[in-house]
Amino acid sequence: MNQAPTDRTRIRRVATNAHYDSATLHAIIDDAYLCHVAFSDDKGTHCIPTACWREKAHLYIHGSNGSRMVKRLLESACCVTITHLDGLVLARSAFSHSMNYRSAMIYGRFEKVAGADARHAMEAFMEKIVPGRQADVRPGSDKEYAATTVLRITLEEAACKVRSGGPNDDEEDRDWPAWAGVLPFERARAAPVVDPACGLAAPGYVLRWPQG
């Protein structure tokens, strides 16, 4: 990741919340299962959610060879954004209300990952989704791999914006008699739901799921 922001990635609104370091960026990506990919074509600008994962200094996605998104992303530049909502910030004045969040924006162009690298990347994806799962499943066939495109984008041109902590009321509002603080969100894991046709004992990664 480029430590110096570019003209596109320099954050101007509440610039004190900006982060341009790889550690912050990697943590935001690694905590996500989905990103939103924005790209443009002759029908307009599109914003499509898709599964993502990271290996070293690239973000990966995949799709069917024939999908519009895959075709367009190999042809032109895009913007990939990930956002985690961490809480509602209740300030004493209406306009000082805010949200706590961690977001990352990546600008660039996807490149195709082929052959053994694509297989390796898809296995890394499974490992990210559920560590330990890969060894249990019926592996992808040559035909399945041939019908799937794996894409990656470098994390060189990226920026993060993070807000955390309590409300920041202006001095003159601090005596206003309204409760102030944060109402936090968490991504929780609920009890696994077994396929009715599955008679197998739950493996460790399923048993451990609700505890995270």
Min separation Cβ 56 and its own copies, Å: 22
Cβ neighbours around 100 below 10 Å, total: 19
Residue type, 182: V
- Structural tokens at position 202: 């739950």
Which span sits near its own copies by CB under 8 A: 17-25, 44-52, 53-61, 110-118?
A: 44-52
d(CA 86, CA 100): 5
Q: Binder to its own copies among 74, 77, 114, 146 (CB under 8 A)?
A: 77
Q: Give, as ranges, the residues between 11 and 40 that touch its own copies (CB under 8 A).
A: 12-13, 33-34, 36-40
CB of 125 to its own copies, least distance (A): 9
From 20-28, 52-60, 73-81, 110-118, span contacting its own copies (CB under 8 A): 73-81
Residue 117's region, left for phi above 0, alpha for psi from -120 to 50, else beta, is: alpha
d(CA 212, CA 208): 7
Residues 93-152 contacting its own copies, CB under 8 A: 93-95, 97, 99, 101, 103, 105, 107, 122, 126, 129-130, 133-134, 136-141, 144, 148
Closest CA to 85 of 169, 190, 162: 162
Segment interacting with its own copies, rule: CB under 8 A, options 22-30, 53-61, 110-118, 180-188 = 180-188
**What is the token pair recorded at 9?**
């990635």
